C-alpha cells in the first residue's frame, strides 16, 4: 500500500500531541446547508459524503462555553486520569488511537496525563471511524506497521448509543487487535474503560472545529478519497483567530496536579468493580423512539454531547432533558432557544439530555401527550 501523503498533520494542535491520519480535503467544496443535508441523509445519502456548515457561535454562546469549561475542567481532568490509569493496567506503554474528531481532545489529555504522572512520551494518532462505513483500515495498517498491535488503545470522547463500540468490534474482528474503547464518559454503559459513567458536559462538545484542532468531521467520498487514501477531513485555517483547541487542553491539564491524589484513590476500586457493559443507553433510545414514533433510532441522539451535536449540525425536533440536570445544561438551552427548538422534561432519562432529529414531514410542534414541557429559555 502506498502511504497517503496529503494529510492534515496535527491541525492546530501541538505536533507532539497528535498526528491526524486524514487526507487533506481543505480545498474541496464539501459543505451543504443543514436542511438540504438533512433531507438527503434521510433519503439515503450517507452523512460522511459531505460536511455541515461549521456553526460559528456568537459572544453570548462563547461565554457559556468558557463558563462550562471553568466549571468542569477539574471534573474532566479527574475522568482523564481515571481512564488513563485503567488503560495502563493492561497496556503499560499504550499507543493512543483516537477517533477523530470528538475523541482527539481526550486522546491528547490522556497523553498529557501519562507525561505528567509517569514521564511517558506516548504516541497518539487520530483516525476516522464512520458509522455504517467502518474503520479506516488504511490508517489501521499504517499503525500496525509501526507499533506493537497489543499496545494500540482506541479512544473516544463519550458514549451515546454505543455505535462506535459496535463499529470497532465488527471492523477489527480477526485482526488480533483489542477493540476495547476507552472513553472519558460512558453514560450509555456500553464500554468497560471509562473515567465516569455520569453524563456530564465535556466542554469540547460545545464547539466544532475550533475546539478540535480546526479539523472538520471526517469524510469518506469516493470522488475525493482513493482506495489507498486515508479517510479525509478539512483543516479550517481561516478560523484560526477563533481557535480554542490548545486553550481547552491547557485549561484541563492545569488541573492534573489538583486531582492526582483523587485519581490514585479512585481507579483501583473502579478496576476491581464490575464494569460489564449493560447497554442501558441503547434500551433507553429504543423506548424514546417508540414513545415519539420515530422511525429509526439513529435519529435519537442521547447524552449531552450528542444533543449538542444535533443542535449544531442537524435539524433538531425536540430536546429532552432530565429535570434535575437543567442547571448543567445552559449551553443546550441557549442553543435550543436560538434555533426555536422546544425543550421537554423527562424524568426517566439515564442521560442528562437527549436530542431528537426531526423526521421528514414532522411538524415542529409535536409534543408527547402528558410530557412536561417548558419553553426554551436561556
Distance separating alpha carbons of residues 313 and 57, to the nearest angstrom: 12
pLDDT for res 362:
61
**Higher-confidence position of 325 and 64:** 325
Check whether 371 has a pLDDT greater than 60. no
- What mean pLDDT do residues 262-277 have? 97
pLDDT for res 4:
44
User: What percent of the chain is modeled with pLDDT above 70?
Assistant: 94
- What mean pLDDT do residues 42-46 have? 78
pLDDT for res 243:
96
User: 5 pLDDT band (50/70/90 cuts)?
Assistant: low
pLDDT for res 378:
28
Per residue in 330-344, pLDDT (tens digit) is 889 998 998 899 999
pLDDT for res 48:
81
Check whether 375 has a pLDDT greater than 70. no
Three cell numbers, residue 364: 415542529
Check whether 261 has a pLDDT greater than 60. yes
Per residue in 156-185, pLDDT (tens digit) is 999 988 888 999 999 998 899 999 999 999
CA distances (Å), origin 22, targets 94, 107, 229, 235? 21, 16, 8, 10
Q: What value does the mean pLDDT of the chain take? A: 90
Distance separating alpha carbons of residues 304 and 376, to the nearest angstrom: 16
Cis, peptide link before residue 197, omega less than 30° from 0: no
Delineate the domains of the chain, giving CATH numbers in brackets.
19-272 (no CATH), 280-374 (3.30.1330.30)
Check whether 372 has a pLDDT greater than 90. no
Check whether 44 has a pLDDT greater than 90. no
Check whether 104 has a pLDDT greater than 70. yes
pLDDT for res 206:
83
Closest CA to 111 of 156, 81, 68, 90: 81
Amino acid at each position: 500500500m502506498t502511504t497517503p501523503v496529503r494529510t492534515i498533520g496535527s491541525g492546530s494542535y501541538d505536533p507532539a500531541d497528535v498526528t491526524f491520519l486524514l487526507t487533506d480535503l481543505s480545498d474541496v467544496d464539501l459543505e451543504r446547508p443543514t436542511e438540504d443535508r438533512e433531507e438527503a441523509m434521510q433519503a439515503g445519502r450517507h452523512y460522511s459524503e459531505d460536511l455541515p456548515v461549521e456553526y460559528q457561535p456568537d459572544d453570548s454562546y462563547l461565554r457559556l462555553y468558557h463558563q462550562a469549561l471553568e466549571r468542569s475542567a477539574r471534573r474532566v481532568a479527574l475522568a482523564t486520569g481515571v481512564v488513563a490509569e485503567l488503560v495502563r493496567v493492561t497496556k503499560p506503554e499504550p499507543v493512543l488511537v483516537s477517533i477523530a474528531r470528538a475523541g482527539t481532545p481526550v486522546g491528547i489529555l490522556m497523553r498529557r496525563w501519562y507525561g505528567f504522572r509517569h514521564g511517558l512520551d506516548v504516541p497518539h494518532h487520530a483516525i476516522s471511524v464512520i458509522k455504517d462505513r467502518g474503520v479506516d483500515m488504511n490508517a489501521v495498517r499504517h499503525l500496525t506497521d509501526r507499533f506493537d498491535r497489543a499496545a494500540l488503545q482506541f479512544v473516544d470522547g463519550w458514549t451515546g448509543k454505543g455505535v462506535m463500540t459496535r463499529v470497532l468490534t465488527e471492523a477489527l474482528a480477526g485482526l488480533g487487535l483489542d477493540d476495547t474503547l476507552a472513553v472519558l464518559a460512558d453514560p450509555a454503559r456500553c464500554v468497560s474503560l471509562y473515567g465516569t459513567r455520569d453524563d456530564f458536559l465535556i466542554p469540547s462538545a460545545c464547539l466544532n472545529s475550533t475546539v478540535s484542532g480546526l479539523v472538520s468531521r471526517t469524510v469518506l467520498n469516493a470522488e475525493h478519497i482513493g482506495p489507498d487514501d486515508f479517510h479525509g477531513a478539512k483543516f479550517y485555517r481561516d478560523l484560526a483567530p477563533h481557535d480554542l483547541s490548545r486553550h481547552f487542553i491547557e485549561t484541563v491539564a492545569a488541573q492534573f496536579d489538583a486531582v492526582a491524589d483523587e485519581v490514585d484513590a479512585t481507579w483501583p476500586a473502579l478496576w476491581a468493580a464490575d464494569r460489564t457493559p449493560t447497554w442501558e443507553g441503547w434500551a433507553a433510545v429504543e423506548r424514546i423512539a417508540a414513545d415519539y414514533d420515530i422511525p429509526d433510532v439513529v435519529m435519537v441522539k442521547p447524552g449531552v454531547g450528542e444533543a449538542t451535536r444535533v443542535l449544531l449540525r442537524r435539524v433538531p425536533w425536540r430536546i429532552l432533558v432530565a429535570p434535575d440536570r437543567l442547571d448543567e445544561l445552559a449551553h443546550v438551552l441557549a442553543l435550543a432557544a436560538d434555533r426555536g427548538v422546544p425543550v421537554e422534561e423527562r424524568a426517566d432519562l439515564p442521560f442528562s439530555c437527549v436530542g431528537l432529529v426531526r423526521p421528514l414531514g414532522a411538524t415542529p410542534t409535536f409534543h408527547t401527550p402528558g410530557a412536561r414541557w417548558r419553553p426554551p429559555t436561556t
